[in-house]
Amino acid sequence: MSKLLEEFQEYLKKMNQYEHVLTLLYWDMKTCTPKLGQEGHVEALTHFSTEVFAMSTSEQMGEMLTELAKPAEYDALTDTWKFIVTRMKRDFDRNKRIPADLYKTYVQTQAEAGNIWVDAKEKSDFSLFAPYLQKMIDLTVEMAGYTDPGVEVYDALLNQYEEGMDSATIDGLFEALKKDLIPFVKEILAKQKPENPAFKGYFDPDGQRKVQDLLLDYIGFRRDAGSVGETEHPFTLNFCSKDVRLTNHYYENNPLSSIFSAVHEGGHAIFEQNINPEYDNTVAGSCDYMGLHESQSRFYENILGRNKNFWLPIYDKLGELLPAFKEIPLETFYQEINHVQNSFIRVNADEVTYCFHIILRYEMEKAIFRDHVPVGDLPTLWNQKMQDYLQITPADDAQGILQDMHWSDGGFGYFPSYLLGSIYDGMLLDTLQEELGNVDELLKNGKIKDITAWLNQKIHWYGNTRKPKDAIKAVCGKEISAEPLIRYFKEKYSEIYDIQI
Amino acid sequence: MSKLLEEFQEYLKKMNQYEHVLTLLYWDMKTCTPKLGQEGHVEALTHFSTEVFAMSTSEQMGEMLTELAKPAEYDALTDTWKFIVTRMKRDFDRNKRIPADLYKTYVQTQAEAGNIWVDAKEKSDFSLFAPYLQKMIDLTVEMAGYTDPGVEVYDALLNQYEEGMDSATIDGLFEALKKDLIPFVKEILAKQKPENPAFKGYFDPDGQRKVQDLLLDYIGFRRDAGSVGETEHPFTLNFCSKDVRLTNHYYENNPLSSIFSAVHEGGHAIFEQNINPEYDNTVAGSCDYMGLHESQSRFYENILGRNKNFWLPIYDKLGELLPAFKEIPLETFYQEINHVQNSFIRVNADEVTYCFHIILRYEMEKAIFRDHVPVGDLPTLWNQKMQDYLQITPADDAQGILQDMHWSDGGFGYFPSYLLGSIYDGMLLDTLQEELGNVDELLKNGKIKDITAWLNQKIHWYGNTRKPKDAIKAVCGKEISAEPLIRYFKEKYSEIYDIQI
């Protein structure tokens, strides 16, 4: 190993200590920190973010990356370190352009906006959140001006979450979905069955926690390399492949929420736990492509979790842990978890109308960054789009524009990832069935861990080293298309709703 | 404010960020970190401990403290900053003498020994733990040689946990207890009632968690400034008065363990939550005197929690949360929580024989540090002392010498604090009754928060700024004596066991 590479690795090791505690501070603020303790954590978060930023944009870092990128050093690197140097050089050049003060303000505002959002959602009062949303938007635009000069802001944001993706491509994919799904959902709703009241009773949160444990073990979440917490909005984070954490929220009158969040976040976590451990604590050892990440969480949640055969081997155990399920036949459960309905809350939506929730948010974000719609007008625009796509109007902001934490965190451009993930899933399902056989049979026979092993090998192992387009091309042999997802929806729901296709 | 003081405060602020994440890493390792993730946390812990150590022993720190301690600066300081400078100067002079490598090894070994202890206890195999115990003993002796040169090692350790305390004083207090309690316990055991099987059934851990929440709210633990976790061995830690955390462990067949741990740790936590907030994030803003700290946890656990009247206002609620309690009358419960019995596990012992558990450990520690008894002989010595004081022999190491985590953490000299705490409690109870009235009446009328307010004002508010001896003298107007505790035991238990005194 060259002396320079050694020096570089030492430097990264120190920086990693700061990043490690940043992850931990974030985790703790969301899961354990009492209200009055948030302030101390925000202070520490600000301090260490600033340190990491300083280290990641230092002259020393710049010099090391410049030298390592030259053939004399670069050609001798392993493939892994070639990736790390290239990626870090790109990010260095990008971050170097951000003024330190701006970055500090951004991180501080992010934490404040997160706290205010919780409060505003509780009080269902968008006006409390609006000034912080405005700040996050302004800061996002300002940051993008530095990170991606000359690139249209929203395209820059999309590309930050899903490298190689732009609004022209997404427009094409989403328009195809709209074209087929809008009439198809109308056909479904024409055959709508009455809502099942069995799922509105009381489901003990302690029992829900146990069901979550069962599901996580079942799909292959490893407890020796992972743990679970409780938060307002479920999420997954990772220190490295050996320590991956997820959270959930348990609603007394909505057991399906925590059940499907568990499987969804479990999918994210299984991805991170199964990345090549050689990449641990480097930029290769995580997956930053949000669409590709969502493809895994949504594969578990929807493609597998909403398949009747997923439940066959474990449905009895559900009744043992949550006795109310004893009264519900599996067929009723299956109908309920695939009950298509125009509803308000994205995370509770069925997988078909979910597409519209994302398309709505995608169009909201284009309105914010491209059409400069004022923040004060956003609730109205939100509600209008809810009418256009779902023919319903939220009763209040908590049920509408305040439901998601993403914007409080500055995550503009993230939402489309969810639907890109489903689009990839349609393609992955086709390939999986070609290679492993019929998915219904696999699930029926309790072979879900074979599926997990296939995904580990085909997708997870590579972490950041393969971009989404390349990953899908490598696994499926095709360019990205919404056709397999549309076909999956039509086949599945025409059977459930007895529709001729 | 002088320029020097300003500079000093800036320096402390930065150091506090490192201390903040050290506390957090420790908390997370005990409550959330999965097995494979421990390694990454230990690495970060080592890194930041080393940084804190470097800052706290730096030349700059030495120069600032030296200057601030001179009359020109010192006389202009507030009382709080006079305390901070004096205390930090003492600690600086002490720590300065510790070689950096030794300190690093100590912290690393501490973390390793903690993990090994969990494993050894699980497997009930002292031989797994022995080499790490030996390392911790050796490192403790080596450290004491630097921190307290010329002081006898065990006296130095005692003084580190309870400033102003030494083994001569403790010998006096403990011998007085032995003299009165050994015959008194024999009288009690002669009137022993049969054990009550009602408490050996199944008590749902989820219900126990809810009982804990009830108790913590009842005694005045503030949720906006505190949170709760789950660990092998209960403990309390604090970031500052605004963020104080405690843990518990729930045994399915032993509800009294989690109930009294909750009240015990709640007492520690209430202490830390009610220290003058002006002291936050300084050496004044916590209580490092372990005996004084234990006096508060044990006041809640024993003096209040084992009083029948404590339960009168809330006993019905216990039955609602843990239905098994509906079948147990309060009088039966009261008898059980004061059931005197020679038993193996310190944390489950009644408050009377508990004294012997501590005296045993105190004598073990004197044997280790004064008589240099080899580590391999310690289990035998432990078991022999169990026979001497409690007339029983542990079946295995888990039930014997491996039961407590303290030694794995290097906490030699800590154990006597528990009993010193009870000795202070006897005195505090006398004074509280003189000033607030009969404690039975206060509890019966649900006025426990009046007691909490009294303790807040008399003890908690001062944090580190008043040493234990001074605190007890200021509140009780007397020197430390075991007489009030002995009198409390005799009055209470002669009534329960119908003994003539």
Q: How far apart are CA A482 and CA A490, in angstroms?
A: 12
Other beta carbons within 10 angstroms of residue B41's beta carbon come to: 22
- Asked whether the CA dihedral A19, A24, A27, A28 is positive or negative, the reply is negative
Residues 192-251 of chain A with CB under 8 A from chain B are: 206, 223-227, 229, 239-240, 242-243, 245
A358 by DSSP, 3-state: which? helix
Q: What is the mean predicted confidence (pLDDT) over A383-410?
A: 95
Closest residue, chain A, to B48 (C-alpha): A17
Chain A residues within an 8 Å CB radius of B24: 21, 24-25, 28, 44
Judge whether residue A195 has pLDDT over 80. Answer: no
**Mean pLDDT for the stretch of residues A60-64:** 97
Whole-number pLDDT of residue A199: 87
- Residue B322 makes CB contacts below 8 A (sequence gap 6+) with B203, B204, B207, B208, B210, B211, B255
Identify any residues that bridge with A254 across adjacent strands, giving them in sequence order.
A251
Q: State how far the alpha carbon of A308 is from the alpha carbons of A209, A299, A499, B479, in Å.
A: 22, 14, 19, 74
B335: amino acid identity, one letter: Q
Q: Is B96 exposed, middle or buried (0-12, 13-18, 19+ CB in 10 A)?
A: middle
The fraction of chain B above a pLDDT of 90, given in percent, is: 94
pLDDT of residue B203: 93
Query: What pLDDT does A238 receive?
Result: 97
List pLDDT tens digits, range A154-180: 999 999 999 999 999 999 999 999 999
A contact test, residue of B21, B23, B52, B119 with most A CBs within 10 A: B21
- What average pLDDT does the segment B276-302 reach? 97
Is the separation of the CB atoms in B204 and B322 below 8 Å? Answer: yes
pLDDT recorded at residue A436: 98
**Mean pLDDT rounded to a whole number for chain B:** 95
Gap from B78 CA to chain A (nearest CA, Å): 24
Arithmetic mean of pLDDT, B399-426: 96
Query: Is the CB of residue A28 less than 8 Å away from at least one CB of chain B?
Result: yes
A21 contact B CB<8A: yes
Task: Please give the share of chain A, as a percent, with pLDDT higher than 70.
Answer: 100
pLDDT of residue B197: 84
A365 is catalytic: no
Give yes or no for residue A307 having a pLDDT over 90. yes
Q: What pLDDT shows up at residue B331?
A: 95
Asked whether the beta carbons of B305 and B263 are under 8 A apart, the reply is yes
pLDDT, averaged across chain A: 95
Q: Is the pTM of this model over 0.90?
A: no
Q: Helices marked H in B299-415 — which ranges?
A: 308-311, 315-321, 330-337, 354-369, 378-390
List pLDDT tens digits, range B197-226. 888 889 999 999 999 999 999 999 999 999
Q: Check if the interface score ipTM surpasses 0.95.
A: no
- Give the sheet arrangement for strand B243-248, strand by strand: B226-230, B243-248, B236-240
pLDDT at B200: 84
> Could you list the active site residues of B?
265
A389 φ/ψ angles, rounded to the nearest 5 degrees: -95, -30
Q: What is the pLDDT of residue B196?
A: 82
**Has residue A501 got a pLDDT over 80?**
no
- Whether residue A30 is predicted with pLDDT greater than 90 in this model: the reply is yes
> What is the C-alpha separation between A180 and A177, in angstroms, rounded?
5
Q: What average pLDDT does this structure show over B123-147? A: 97
Q: Judge whether B23 is closer than 8 Å to chain A, CB to CB.
A: no
Q: Write down all domains in chain A, each with its CATH number in brackets.
A: 3-150 (no CATH), 167-496 (1.10.1370.30)
Q: pLDDT at residue A500 above 90? A: no
Contact B344, B386 (CB under 8 A): yes
Instruction: Write the pLDDT tens digit of every residue in B413-455.
Output: 999 999 999 999 999 999 999 999 999 999 999 999 999 999 9
Neighbours of B255 (CB within 10 A): 24
Residue reference for tokens 């974000």: A365
**pLDDT at residue B194 in the model:** 81
Rounded CA-CA distance A60/A82 in Å is: 19
* Mean pLDDT of the region A280-284: 96
Taking alpha carbons only, the member of A338, A195, A198, A348 closest to residue A260 is A348
Mean pLDDT of the region B362-369: 98
